[in-house]
Amino acid sequence: MARRALVLDFGGVISKTLFETHDLSEEALRLPAGTLTWRGPFDVETDPLWNEMQAGHMTERDYWTTRARETGQLVGEVWDTLPPFLSAVRGNDPSKVIRPEALEAIGAAKRAGHLLAILSNELDLFYGKEFRTKLPFLSDFDLIVDATYTEILKPDPRAYAFITDGLSIPAANCVFVDDQLKNIRGGVAAGMNCVHFDVTRPGDSYARALAHLSA
């Protein structure tokens, strides 16, 4: 059987979304429980800013920059960029926000002999360079493509080509997993098998990804 690759987005797919970890964020920032109310895909009716982003009226980076600025104001900080915001809310133990389903799927793919890659628009931009050093499982990945450095954002076709060229594997042998539909459309256009990750049902999404790998 030809080698296949599991290609994962990072934020939302490997790590839990900030929507899911408000309790940890409030604890880290010493805010009263329930202070952070924006819930994104978990409660779209109460997050008009998320709906604007999903409609294409702003970028994902703009959405999170706005949330960073708002949260900074609550604690007397000026956070106009993502790294200080995420460093403050994710703390010194980022392993707490890694999805257990992600670790299980990564392990299963590796044991089956598949290649592993990350295709992210903002891994180091959002989380900072030190974040990676605190996540030992990242050493299992054969390739990490981060637009922080390439400056080529999904769904640009060149972003997906970084994966196929870097792994020396055809697009048809890649299973790409992302929680943003526009990026999934880009993966489909590039010829990859794609799974639109549902952050509200991570186990099901990873099960579908592994099924594609073994098909």
| pLDDT given for residue 34 in this prediction | 96
**In sequence order, which residues have a C-beta less than 8 Å from that of residue 42 and are 6 or more positions away?**
19, 20, 199, 200
Range picked from 2-6, 92-96, 131-135 for highest mean pLDDT? 2-6
Tell whether the model's pLDDT for residue 91 goes beyond 70: no
| pLDDT given for residue 1 in this prediction | 60
Please list, residue by residue across 132-146, b when 16 or more beta carbons sit within 10 angstroms of its beta carbon and e when fewer do.
Answer: beeeeebeebebbbb
Q: In whole angstroms, how far apart are CA 169 and each of 54, 154, 164, 172, 191? A: 32, 19, 5, 8, 12
| pLDDT given for residue 59 in this prediction | 85
Q: In whole angstroms, how far apart are CA 122 and each of 21, 101, 167? A: 19, 22, 20
The mean per-residue pLDDT over the stretch 91-120 comes to 93
Work out whether the CA dihedral 165, 166, 167, 173 comes out positive or negative: negative
Count CB-CB contacts under 10 A for residue 178.
27
User: What is the third-level CATH fold of 5-16+98-214?
Assistant: Rossmann fold (3.40.50)
Q: What is the DSSP letter of 37?
A: -
Instruction: Please give the structure tokens belonging to residue 137.
Output: 């499982």
- Where in the chain are the domains? 5-16+98-214, 18-93
Q: What is the pLDDT of residues 128-177, one digit of tens each?
A: 778 888 899 999 999 999 999 999 999 999 999 999 999 999 999 999 99
| pLDDT given for residue 109 in this prediction | 97
Q: What is the pLDDT of residues 28-81, one digit of tens each?
A: 999 999 999 999 999 999 899 999 998 889 988 899 999 999 999 999 999 998
Q: Give the pLDDT band of residue 86 (cuts 50, 70, 90).
A: confident
